Amino acid sequence: MERRKIGHNVAILDTTLREGEQTPGVTFTIEEKLEIVRRLDEIGVNMIEAGDPNVSKDVKDAVRRIAKEGLKAEVLAHCRALIPDVENAASCEVDRVAIFLGTSRSHLQYKLRKDEDKAIELVSKAVERAKSQGLKVRFTAEDASRTSYGFLLRICKKAEEAGADRISIPDTVGVMTPEAVRTLFSNLHQELNAELDTHCHNDLGMATANTLAGLEGGATMAHVTINGLGERSGIAPLSEVAVALKVIYGIETVKLEQIPALSLLCERLSGIVPAPNTPIIGENAFTHKAGIHVAGVLANPATYEAFPPDLIGRQRDIVIDKYTGVHAVRSRLERIGVILSESQISSIVQAIKERPTMTRFRDADLIELAERLTGKNLKAEVPTNVEAILRVKCESNVYTTAIARRLKALKKITRVYEVTGNYDIEVAITADSTADLNETLERIREIEGVEATETQLVLKKFEV
Ligand code: HCA
Ligand code: CU
Protein backbone atom coordinates (compact mmCIF):
# COMPACT_ATOMS: atom_id res chain seq x y z
CA MET A 1 0.00 0.00 0.00
CA GLU A 2 1.54 3.29 -1.06
CA ARG A 3 1.30 6.11 1.41
CA ARG A 4 2.40 9.71 1.36
CA LYS A 5 4.88 10.83 3.98
CA ILE A 6 4.52 13.11 6.96
CA GLY A 7 7.58 14.94 8.28
CA HIS A 8 8.93 13.81 11.63
CA ASN A 9 8.76 17.40 12.87
CA VAL A 10 4.96 17.29 13.32
CA ALA A 11 3.73 18.53 16.66
CA ILE A 12 0.48 18.49 18.61
CA LEU A 13 -1.54 21.44 19.86
CA ASP A 14 -4.22 20.60 22.39
CA THR A 15 -7.21 22.92 22.55
CA THR A 16 -9.37 21.06 25.07
CA LEU A 17 -9.52 24.18 27.22
CA ARG A 18 -10.51 26.53 24.38
CA GLU A 19 -12.29 24.54 21.64
CA GLY A 20 -13.18 21.77 24.11
CA GLU A 21 -14.86 24.17 26.53
CA GLN A 22 -17.02 25.26 23.57
CA THR A 23 -18.66 21.80 23.72
CA PRO A 24 -22.37 22.19 24.58
CA GLY A 25 -22.82 21.43 28.29
CA VAL A 26 -19.14 21.70 29.22
CA THR A 27 -17.33 24.15 31.47
CA PHE A 28 -14.18 23.54 33.49
CA THR A 29 -13.22 25.27 36.73
CA ILE A 30 -9.76 26.81 36.96
CA GLU A 31 -8.60 23.93 39.17
CA GLU A 32 -9.90 21.43 36.62
CA LYS A 33 -8.11 23.29 33.82
CA LEU A 34 -4.87 23.17 35.78
CA GLU A 35 -5.32 19.43 36.34
CA ILE A 36 -5.84 18.93 32.60
CA VAL A 37 -2.88 21.05 31.46
CA ARG A 38 -0.48 19.40 33.89
CA ARG A 39 -1.45 16.02 32.45
CA LEU A 40 -1.23 17.35 28.88
CA ASP A 41 2.24 18.67 29.61
CA GLU A 42 3.24 15.35 31.11
CA ILE A 43 1.95 13.42 28.10
CA GLY A 44 4.03 15.68 25.90
CA VAL A 45 1.80 17.91 23.76
CA ASN A 46 3.78 20.79 22.25
CA MET A 47 1.28 23.61 22.50
CA ILE A 48 -1.69 24.27 24.77
CA GLU A 49 -4.41 26.68 23.67
CA ALA A 50 -5.55 27.86 27.09
CA GLY A 51 -8.59 29.94 26.16
CA ASP A 52 -9.79 33.31 24.87
CA PRO A 53 -9.32 35.78 27.76
CA ASN A 54 -12.02 38.04 26.29
CA VAL A 55 -14.74 35.46 26.88
CA SER A 56 -15.07 36.01 30.65
CA LYS A 57 -13.13 36.86 33.76
CA ASP A 58 -12.78 33.22 34.74
CA VAL A 59 -11.35 32.24 31.33
CA LYS A 60 -8.89 35.09 31.62
CA ASP A 61 -7.88 34.06 35.15
CA ALA A 62 -7.38 30.49 33.93
CA VAL A 63 -5.23 31.59 30.97
CA ARG A 64 -3.10 33.70 33.29
CA ARG A 65 -2.67 30.88 35.82
CA ILE A 66 -1.74 28.41 33.09
CA ALA A 67 0.80 30.83 31.61
CA LYS A 68 2.44 30.96 35.05
CA GLU A 69 2.58 27.17 35.46
CA GLY A 70 6.04 26.90 33.91
CA LEU A 71 4.91 24.22 31.46
CA LYS A 72 7.21 22.70 28.86
CA ALA A 73 4.48 23.27 26.26
CA GLU A 74 4.02 26.66 24.64
CA VAL A 75 0.92 28.38 26.07
CA LEU A 76 -1.43 30.26 23.74
CA ALA A 77 -4.33 32.65 24.13
CA HIS A 78 -6.95 32.74 21.38
CA CYS A 79 -8.45 36.11 20.44
CA ARG A 80 -10.25 38.14 17.81
CA ALA A 81 -8.38 40.46 15.46
CA LEU A 82 -9.12 43.49 17.64
CA ILE A 83 -6.50 45.62 19.39
CA PRO A 84 -8.17 45.57 22.87
CA ASP A 85 -8.53 41.76 22.65
CA VAL A 86 -4.87 41.41 21.71
CA GLU A 87 -3.81 43.62 24.60
CA ASN A 88 -5.98 41.68 27.01
CA ALA A 89 -4.40 38.44 25.78
CA ALA A 90 -0.89 39.93 26.08
CA SER A 91 -1.61 40.94 29.68
CA CYS A 92 -1.96 37.22 30.52
CA GLU A 93 1.73 36.74 29.75
CA VAL A 94 1.22 33.83 27.38
CA ASP A 95 3.92 32.73 24.91
CA ARG A 96 1.80 33.20 21.85
CA VAL A 97 -1.44 34.74 20.73
CA ALA A 98 -3.66 33.08 18.13
CA ILE A 99 -5.51 35.85 16.33
CA PHE A 100 -8.55 34.72 14.33
CA LEU A 101 -10.78 36.33 11.76
CA GLY A 102 -13.46 34.77 9.56
CA THR A 103 -12.26 34.97 5.98
CA SER A 104 -15.01 33.22 3.99
CA ARG A 105 -17.58 35.28 2.12
CA SER A 106 -20.35 34.47 4.58
CA HIS A 107 -18.20 35.34 7.61
CA LEU A 108 -17.11 38.64 6.06
CA GLN A 109 -20.60 39.55 4.88
CA TYR A 110 -22.88 38.32 7.67
CA LYS A 111 -20.70 38.10 10.73
CA LEU A 112 -18.12 40.85 10.38
CA ARG A 113 -19.81 43.11 7.78
CA LYS A 114 -16.39 44.00 6.42
CA ASP A 115 -14.92 43.92 2.93
CA GLU A 116 -11.72 42.03 2.11
CA ASP A 117 -9.40 45.04 2.39
CA LYS A 118 -10.81 46.01 5.76
CA ALA A 119 -10.38 42.40 6.96
CA ILE A 120 -6.72 42.45 5.91
CA GLU A 121 -6.22 45.75 7.71
CA LEU A 122 -7.73 44.37 10.93
CA VAL A 123 -5.50 41.32 10.83
CA SER A 124 -2.31 43.23 10.00
CA LYS A 125 -2.88 45.72 12.81
CA ALA A 126 -3.74 43.05 15.36
CA VAL A 127 -0.70 40.94 14.42
CA GLU A 128 1.61 43.96 14.54
CA ARG A 129 0.27 44.96 17.96
CA ALA A 130 0.85 41.45 19.31
CA LYS A 131 4.39 41.42 17.92
CA SER A 132 5.09 44.82 19.48
CA GLN A 133 4.12 43.26 22.84
CA GLY A 134 6.82 40.63 22.36
CA LEU A 135 4.42 37.77 21.61
CA LYS A 136 4.73 35.05 19.03
CA VAL A 137 1.74 35.13 16.70
CA ARG A 138 -0.41 32.60 14.88
CA PHE A 139 -3.04 33.85 12.50
CA THR A 140 -6.19 31.76 11.99
CA ALA A 141 -8.20 32.27 8.82
CA GLU A 142 -11.47 31.06 10.33
CA ASP A 143 -13.63 29.11 7.85
CA ALA A 144 -10.55 28.84 5.61
CA SER A 145 -11.96 25.78 3.87
CA ARG A 146 -14.86 27.87 2.48
CA THR A 147 -12.70 30.90 1.64
CA SER A 148 -11.73 31.64 -1.97
CA TYR A 149 -8.16 30.49 -2.47
CA GLY A 150 -7.05 33.87 -3.85
CA PHE A 151 -8.23 35.82 -0.82
CA LEU A 152 -7.03 33.16 1.62
CA LEU A 153 -3.53 33.39 0.22
CA ARG A 154 -3.61 37.20 0.18
CA ILE A 155 -4.67 37.56 3.82
CA CYS A 156 -2.25 34.84 5.00
CA LYS A 157 0.63 36.61 3.22
CA LYS A 158 -0.31 39.88 4.90
CA ALA A 159 -0.48 38.18 8.31
CA GLU A 160 2.95 36.73 7.64
CA GLU A 161 4.34 40.13 6.62
CA ALA A 162 2.94 41.60 9.84
CA GLY A 163 4.85 38.99 11.85
CA ALA A 164 2.78 35.79 12.14
CA ASP A 165 5.13 32.78 12.09
CA ARG A 166 2.29 30.24 12.13
CA ILE A 167 -0.98 30.14 10.23
CA SER A 168 -3.96 27.94 11.06
CA ILE A 169 -6.15 26.79 8.18
CA PRO A 170 -9.25 25.42 9.92
CA ASP A 171 -12.02 23.38 8.38
CA THR A 172 -14.40 25.24 10.67
CA VAL A 173 -17.58 23.42 9.63
CA GLY A 174 -16.00 20.07 8.76
CA VAL A 175 -16.86 19.93 5.05
CA MET A 176 -13.52 18.98 3.53
CA THR A 177 -12.33 15.64 2.19
CA PRO A 178 -8.78 14.41 2.76
CA GLU A 179 -7.83 14.89 -0.91
CA ALA A 180 -9.02 18.52 -0.89
CA VAL A 181 -7.23 19.24 2.41
CA ARG A 182 -3.97 17.75 1.13
CA THR A 183 -4.10 19.88 -2.01
CA LEU A 184 -4.98 23.06 -0.11
CA PHE A 185 -2.11 22.58 2.32
CA SER A 186 0.48 21.71 -0.29
CA ASN A 187 -0.48 24.79 -2.31
CA LEU A 188 -0.29 27.09 0.73
CA HIS A 189 2.90 25.41 1.89
CA GLN A 190 4.57 26.32 -1.41
CA GLU A 191 3.49 29.95 -1.20
CA LEU A 192 3.99 30.77 2.48
CA ASN A 193 6.99 30.79 4.80
CA ALA A 194 4.94 30.49 7.99
CA GLU A 195 4.39 27.04 9.50
CA LEU A 196 0.87 25.69 8.98
CA ASP A 197 -1.63 24.27 11.50
CA THR A 198 -4.54 21.91 10.82
CA HIS A 199 -7.77 22.34 12.79
CA CYS A 200 -10.39 19.91 11.49
CA HIS A 201 -13.98 19.73 12.69
CA ASN A 202 -15.81 16.44 12.66
CA ASP A 203 -19.25 17.35 11.28
CA LEU A 204 -19.04 14.64 8.62
CA GLY A 205 -16.77 12.28 10.57
CA MET A 206 -13.69 13.33 8.59
CA ALA A 207 -11.71 15.13 11.31
CA THR A 208 -8.89 12.65 11.84
CA ALA A 209 -8.51 11.76 8.15
CA ASN A 210 -8.45 15.44 7.22
CA THR A 211 -5.91 16.22 9.93
CA LEU A 212 -3.56 13.53 8.63
CA ALA A 213 -4.09 14.75 5.07
CA GLY A 214 -3.19 18.29 6.14
CA LEU A 215 0.01 16.98 7.69
CA GLU A 216 0.75 15.07 4.47
CA GLY A 217 0.25 18.37 2.64
CA GLY A 218 2.93 20.07 4.73
CA ALA A 219 1.26 21.26 7.93
CA THR A 220 3.47 20.83 11.00
CA MET A 221 0.95 21.25 13.83
CA ALA A 222 -2.22 19.22 14.40
CA HIS A 223 -4.95 20.72 16.59
CA VAL A 224 -6.71 18.16 18.77
CA THR A 225 -8.83 17.93 21.90
CA ILE A 226 -9.05 15.13 24.45
CA ASN A 227 -11.94 12.86 23.47
CA GLY A 228 -12.58 15.05 20.40
CA LEU A 229 -14.49 17.70 22.35
CA GLY A 230 -15.47 20.95 20.63
CA GLU A 231 -18.28 22.92 19.01
CA ARG A 232 -21.06 20.66 17.64
CA SER A 233 -19.43 17.30 16.80
CA GLY A 234 -16.01 18.48 17.95
CA ILE A 235 -12.59 18.23 16.31
CA ALA A 236 -10.00 15.50 15.79
CA PRO A 237 -9.29 13.64 19.06
CA LEU A 238 -5.77 13.49 20.49
CA SER A 239 -6.07 9.69 20.78
CA GLU A 240 -6.84 9.11 17.10
CA VAL A 241 -4.31 11.56 15.70
CA ALA A 242 -1.43 10.47 17.94
CA VAL A 243 -2.07 6.73 17.51
CA ALA A 244 -2.60 7.02 13.74
CA LEU A 245 0.65 8.98 13.43
CA LYS A 246 2.46 6.15 15.20
CA VAL A 247 0.70 3.16 13.65
CA ILE A 248 0.35 4.38 10.07
CA TYR A 249 3.30 6.75 9.65
CA GLY A 250 5.73 5.57 12.33
CA ILE A 251 5.85 9.02 13.92
CA GLU A 252 6.18 9.45 17.69
CA THR A 253 4.39 12.37 19.29
CA VAL A 254 2.87 12.04 22.79
CA LYS A 255 3.26 9.24 25.38
CA LEU A 256 0.59 6.93 23.99
CA GLU A 257 0.27 4.73 27.08
CA GLN A 258 -1.04 7.72 29.04
CA ILE A 259 -3.91 8.38 26.64
CA PRO A 260 -6.60 6.21 28.32
CA ALA A 261 -6.06 7.85 31.73
CA LEU A 262 -6.15 11.33 30.22
CA SER A 263 -9.27 10.40 28.38
CA LEU A 264 -10.96 9.22 31.59
CA LEU A 265 -9.95 12.41 33.36
CA CYS A 266 -11.57 14.42 30.58
CA GLU A 267 -14.66 12.21 30.68
CA ARG A 268 -14.99 12.84 34.41
CA LEU A 269 -14.43 16.59 34.19
CA SER A 270 -16.52 17.21 31.08
CA GLY A 271 -19.34 14.75 31.76
CA ILE A 272 -19.13 13.71 28.09
CA VAL A 273 -18.91 9.92 27.94
CA PRO A 274 -17.43 8.48 24.73
CA ALA A 275 -19.57 5.79 23.07
CA PRO A 276 -18.36 2.17 23.57
CA ASN A 277 -17.40 1.90 19.89
CA THR A 278 -15.19 5.03 19.96
CA PRO A 279 -11.81 4.20 18.39
CA ILE A 280 -8.86 3.65 20.75
CA ILE A 281 -10.42 4.80 24.01
CA GLY A 282 -13.92 3.26 23.74
CA GLU A 283 -14.92 0.36 25.95
CA ASN A 284 -15.13 -2.00 22.93
CA ALA A 285 -12.00 -0.90 21.05
CA PHE A 286 -10.14 -4.16 21.82
CA THR A 287 -13.03 -6.52 22.53
CA HIS A 288 -13.56 -9.40 20.12
CA LYS A 289 -16.82 -11.24 19.81
CA ALA A 290 -17.58 -13.50 16.83
CA GLY A 291 -16.17 -17.02 17.16
CA ILE A 292 -14.16 -16.70 13.93
CA HIS A 293 -12.60 -13.42 15.08
CA VAL A 294 -11.74 -14.77 18.51
CA ALA A 295 -10.15 -17.91 17.06
CA GLY A 296 -8.04 -15.68 14.78
CA VAL A 297 -7.02 -13.32 17.56
CA LEU A 298 -6.10 -16.15 19.90
CA ALA A 299 -3.88 -17.63 17.18
CA ASN A 300 -2.36 -14.25 16.30
CA PRO A 301 -3.84 -10.94 17.53
CA ALA A 302 -2.84 -9.12 14.34
CA THR A 303 -5.54 -11.01 12.42
CA TYR A 304 -8.21 -8.66 13.74
CA GLU A 305 -6.36 -5.77 15.37
CA ALA A 306 -5.08 -2.55 13.80
CA PHE A 307 -2.44 -2.36 16.52
CA PRO A 308 -1.79 -4.15 19.82
CA PRO A 309 -3.73 -2.66 22.75
CA ASP A 310 -0.61 -2.51 24.92
CA LEU A 311 0.64 0.30 22.68
CA ILE A 312 -1.73 2.47 24.71
CA GLY A 313 -1.61 0.43 27.90
CA ARG A 314 -4.91 -1.41 27.34
CA GLN A 315 -5.78 -5.09 27.14
CA ARG A 316 -7.74 -7.12 24.67
CA ASP A 317 -10.94 -8.75 25.79
CA ILE A 318 -13.30 -11.42 24.56
CA VAL A 319 -17.06 -11.31 24.80
CA ILE A 320 -18.87 -14.56 25.32
CA ASP A 321 -22.38 -14.75 23.87
CA LYS A 322 -24.24 -16.69 21.16
CA TYR A 323 -21.57 -15.69 18.58
CA THR A 324 -18.92 -17.49 20.60
CA GLY A 325 -16.94 -20.54 19.51
CA VAL A 326 -14.90 -23.16 21.38
CA HIS A 327 -11.65 -21.18 21.26
CA ALA A 328 -13.08 -18.27 23.23
CA VAL A 329 -14.69 -20.49 25.87
CA ARG A 330 -11.56 -22.59 26.29
CA SER A 331 -9.38 -19.50 26.64
CA ARG A 332 -11.67 -17.81 29.15
CA LEU A 333 -12.01 -20.95 31.27
CA GLU A 334 -8.26 -21.57 31.18
CA ARG A 335 -7.70 -18.00 32.31
CA ILE A 336 -9.66 -18.71 35.48
CA GLY A 337 -8.02 -22.09 35.99
CA VAL A 338 -10.76 -24.44 34.71
CA ILE A 339 -9.51 -27.09 32.27
CA LEU A 340 -12.19 -29.10 30.47
CA SER A 341 -12.20 -31.66 27.67
CA GLU A 342 -13.02 -30.70 24.06
CA SER A 343 -16.47 -32.27 24.26
CA GLN A 344 -17.26 -30.51 27.54
CA ILE A 345 -16.29 -27.19 25.99
CA SER A 346 -18.50 -27.90 22.97
CA SER A 347 -21.41 -28.60 25.32
CA ILE A 348 -20.85 -25.27 27.05
CA VAL A 349 -20.81 -23.47 23.70
CA GLN A 350 -24.06 -25.22 22.86
CA ALA A 351 -25.62 -24.11 26.15
CA ILE A 352 -24.49 -20.53 25.47
CA LYS A 353 -26.09 -20.55 22.03
CA GLU A 354 -29.34 -21.68 23.59
CA ARG A 355 -29.56 -18.39 25.48
CA PRO A 356 -29.55 -15.90 22.59
CA THR A 357 -30.69 -12.88 24.59
CA MET A 358 -27.86 -13.05 27.12
CA THR A 359 -25.42 -10.33 26.00
CA ARG A 360 -22.39 -11.19 28.11
CA PHE A 361 -21.50 -14.43 29.87
CA ARG A 362 -19.17 -13.42 32.68
CA ASP A 363 -16.68 -15.71 34.40
CA ALA A 364 -19.24 -16.57 37.08
CA ASP A 365 -21.77 -17.64 34.41
CA LEU A 366 -19.19 -19.84 32.70
CA ILE A 367 -18.23 -21.45 35.99
CA GLU A 368 -21.87 -22.19 36.66
CA LEU A 369 -22.30 -23.86 33.26
CA ALA A 370 -19.11 -25.84 33.82
CA GLU A 371 -20.30 -26.93 37.26
CA ARG A 372 -23.59 -28.17 35.88
CA LEU A 373 -21.77 -30.14 33.24
CA THR A 374 -19.07 -31.68 35.40
CA GLY A 375 -20.99 -31.96 38.66
CA LYS A 376 -17.93 -30.51 40.42
CA ASN A 377 -17.84 -27.56 42.78
CA LEU A 378 -15.51 -25.35 40.75
CA LYS A 379 -16.26 -22.12 42.63
CA ALA A 380 -14.16 -23.34 45.52
CA GLU A 381 -11.19 -23.91 43.21
CA VAL A 382 -11.10 -20.67 41.27
CA PRO A 383 -10.78 -17.12 42.54
CA THR A 384 -14.25 -15.61 42.64
CA ASN A 385 -15.40 -12.07 42.14
CA VAL A 386 -16.34 -9.59 44.82
CA GLU A 387 -19.82 -8.26 44.23
CA ALA A 388 -21.41 -5.24 45.83
CA ILE A 389 -24.51 -3.09 45.63
CA LEU A 390 -23.85 0.60 45.95
CA ARG A 391 -26.38 3.31 46.63
CA VAL A 392 -25.57 6.79 45.41
CA LYS A 393 -27.10 10.05 46.55
CA CYS A 394 -26.72 12.95 44.09
CA GLU A 395 -26.43 16.62 44.98
CA SER A 396 -29.76 18.38 44.55
CA ASN A 397 -28.59 20.61 41.71
CA VAL A 398 -27.34 17.83 39.44
CA TYR A 399 -29.15 15.86 36.80
CA THR A 400 -29.38 12.27 38.09
CA THR A 401 -29.27 10.76 34.61
CA ALA A 402 -25.95 12.52 33.91
CA ILE A 403 -24.43 10.83 36.97
CA ALA A 404 -26.05 7.52 36.02
CA ARG A 405 -24.42 7.72 32.58
CA ARG A 406 -21.03 8.35 34.10
CA LEU A 407 -21.47 5.39 36.42
CA LYS A 408 -22.47 3.25 33.45
CA ALA A 409 -19.14 4.06 31.82
CA LEU A 410 -17.12 2.62 34.69
CA LYS A 411 -15.72 -0.80 33.91
CA LYS A 412 -16.72 -2.83 36.97
CA ILE A 413 -20.30 -1.58 37.11
CA THR A 414 -22.67 -4.15 35.71
CA ARG A 415 -26.06 -2.53 36.33
CA VAL A 416 -27.34 0.97 37.02
CA TYR A 417 -30.82 1.85 38.30
CA GLU A 418 -32.34 5.26 38.96
CA VAL A 419 -34.58 4.72 41.98
CA THR A 420 -36.95 6.48 44.38
CA GLY A 421 -36.21 6.84 48.10
CA ASN A 422 -33.32 8.30 50.12
CA TYR A 423 -30.79 7.42 47.44
CA ASP A 424 -31.10 8.32 43.74
CA ILE A 425 -29.15 5.57 42.02
CA GLU A 426 -28.30 1.93 42.74
CA VAL A 427 -25.50 0.14 40.97
CA ALA A 428 -24.24 -3.42 40.95
CA ILE A 429 -20.47 -3.84 40.96
CA THR A 430 -18.49 -6.95 40.10
CA ALA A 431 -14.83 -6.55 40.97
CA ASP A 432 -11.92 -8.97 40.70
CA SER A 433 -10.79 -8.40 44.27
CA THR A 434 -11.43 -6.25 47.34
CA ALA A 435 -8.70 -3.85 46.20
CA ASP A 436 -10.35 -3.63 42.80
CA LEU A 437 -13.72 -2.96 44.49
CA ASN A 438 -12.16 -0.23 46.60
CA GLU A 439 -10.68 1.43 43.57
CA THR A 440 -14.06 1.46 41.84
CA LEU A 441 -15.69 2.95 44.96
CA GLU A 442 -13.01 5.65 45.05
CA ARG A 443 -13.69 6.54 41.45
CA ILE A 444 -17.42 6.75 42.09
CA ARG A 445 -16.95 9.04 45.08
CA GLU A 446 -14.73 11.29 42.95
CA ILE A 447 -17.52 11.95 40.45
CA GLU A 448 -18.64 15.52 40.76
CA GLY A 449 -22.26 15.71 41.93
CA VAL A 450 -22.07 12.51 44.03
CA GLU A 451 -22.98 13.57 47.56
CA ALA A 452 -23.01 10.29 49.49
CA THR A 453 -22.70 6.57 48.93
CA GLU A 454 -23.55 3.40 50.84
CA THR A 455 -21.97 0.07 49.97
CA GLN A 456 -23.43 -3.38 50.62
CA LEU A 457 -21.29 -6.44 49.97
CA VAL A 458 -23.14 -9.33 48.37
CA LEU A 459 -22.90 -12.49 50.48
CA LYS A 460 -24.98 -14.86 48.38
CA LYS A 461 -26.53 -14.50 44.96
CA PHE A 462 -29.48 -16.45 43.55
CA GLU A 463 -29.82 -16.61 39.77
CA VAL A 464 -33.47 -16.74 38.68
C1 HCA B 1 -13.62 29.34 16.82
C2 HCA B 1 -13.07 29.05 15.46
C3 HCA B 1 -12.05 27.96 15.30
C4 HCA B 1 -10.65 28.51 15.25
C5 HCA B 1 -9.58 27.52 14.93
C6 HCA B 1 -8.15 28.01 15.05
C7 HCA B 1 -12.42 27.25 13.98
O8 HCA B 1 -14.36 28.51 17.38
O9 HCA B 1 -13.37 30.41 17.34
O10 HCA B 1 -7.90 29.06 15.65
O11 HCA B 1 -7.27 27.33 14.52
O12 HCA B 1 -12.81 26.10 13.99
O13 HCA B 1 -12.35 27.92 12.95
O14 HCA B 1 -12.15 27.00 16.34
CU1 CU C 1 -12.77 25.04 15.83
DSSP string for 186-227: HHHHHH--SEEEEEEB-TTS-HHHHHHHHHHTT--EEEEBGG
Average per-residue pLDDT for the chain:
93
Instruction: List pLDDT tens digits, range 51-89.
Output: 999 999 999 999 999 999 999 999 999 999 999 999 999
Q: Which ligand is nearest to the CA of 229?
A: 2
pTM of the model: 0.84
Span 82-137, pLDDT tens digits = 999 999 999 999 999 999 999 999 999 988 888 999 999 999 999 999 999 999 99
What pLDDT band is residue 463 in, cutting at 50, 70 and 90?
Answer: low
Integer CA distances (angstroms), 304 to 259, 308, 336, in order: 22, 10, 24
Angstrom distance (rounded) from CA 143 to CA 152: 10
Ligand 1 within 6 A of CB of 391: no
Catalytic residues: 293
> What pLDDT, on a 0 to 100 scale, did the predictor assign at position 382?
65
Q: Which residue has the least CA distance to atom 5 on ligand 1?
A: 170
Is the per-residue pLDDT at 337 higher than 80? yes
Q: Which amino acid is at 343?
A: S
**Residue of 140, 176, 197 with the most ligand 1 atoms within 8 Å of its CB, for mutation:** 140
Domains of the chain, residue spans: 11-270, 287-374, 386-457
Mean pLDDT score, 368-384 = 80
Residues surrounding ion ligand 2 at CB below 5 Å = 19
Helices (H) and strands (E) in the chain, counts: 16, 14
Q: What is the mean pLDDT of residues 365-385?
A: 81
What lies within 8 Å, CB to CB, of 464 at 6+ separation is none
Radius of gyration (C-alpha) of the chain in whole angstroms: 26
pLDDT-derived band of residue 384, with 50, 70 and 90 as boundaries?
low
What are the pLDDT digits (tens) for 303-314? 999 999 999 999
CATH classification code of 11-270: 3.20.20.70
DSSP 148-161: -HHHHHHHHHHHHH
**Alpha carbon nearest to ligand 1 atom 6, residue:** 140
Check whether 443 has a pLDDT greater than 70.
yes
* DSSP 8-state code for residue 166: E
Express each pLDDT in 395-410 by its tens digit: 987 888 889 988 988 8
Query: Hey, which of 147-151, 265-269, 362-366 has the most confident mean pLDDT?
Result: 147-151
pLDDT of residue 235: 98
pLDDT in tens, 194-224: 999 999 999 999 999 999 999 999 999 999 9
Least confident segment among 158-167, 176-185, 309-318, 430-439: 430-439
CA of 323 to the centre of ligand 1 (A): 45
Decide whether any atom of ligand 1 lies within 6 Å of the 235 Cβ: no
* Predicted local distance difference test score (pLDDT) of residue 364: 80
CA of 359 relative to ligand 2 center, distance in Å = 39
Q: Which of the listed residues 52, 142, 146 should we mutate to test ligand 1's pocket, taking the one with most ligand atoms within 8 A of CB?
A: 142
199 pocket-lining for ligand 1 (C-beta < 6 Å):
yes
Helix, strand, coil share of the chain (percent; to 5): 45, 20, 40
Closest CA to 222 of 191, 246, 204, 203: 246
Instruction: Evaluate: CB of 142 within 6 angstroms of ligand 1.
Output: yes
219-257 as b/e, with b when 16 or more CB fall inside 10 Å?
bbbbbbbbbbbbbeebbbbbbbbbbbbbeebebebbebe
433 has pLDDT over 90: no
* CATH number of the structural domain 386-457: 3.30.70.920
281: exposed, middle or buried (Cβ count in 10 Å: 0-12, 13-18, 19+): buried
Q: What confidence tier does 149 reach under pLDDT thresholds 50, 70, 90?
A: very high
As to burial, measured by CB atoms within 10 angstroms (0-12 exposed, 13-18 middle, 19+ buried), residue 153 is: middle
DSSP per residue, 102-136 = E-SHHIIIIII---HHHHHHHHHHHHHHHHHTT-E
Q: What percent of the chain has pLDDT over 70?
A: 98
Cα–Cα distance for residue pair 1/4, rounded to 1 Å: 10
Burial call 93-122: b when 16+ CB within 10 Å, e when fewer = ebebbbbbbbbbeebbeeebebeeeebbeb
Decide: 139 in ligand 1 pocket, CB within 6 A: no
Residues 288-331 have pLDDT tens digits of 999 999 999 999 999 999 999 999 999 898 999 999 999 999 99
* pLDDT at residue 166 greater than cutoff 70: yes
Contact 215, 198 (CB under 8 A): yes
* pLDDT recorded at residue 363: 83
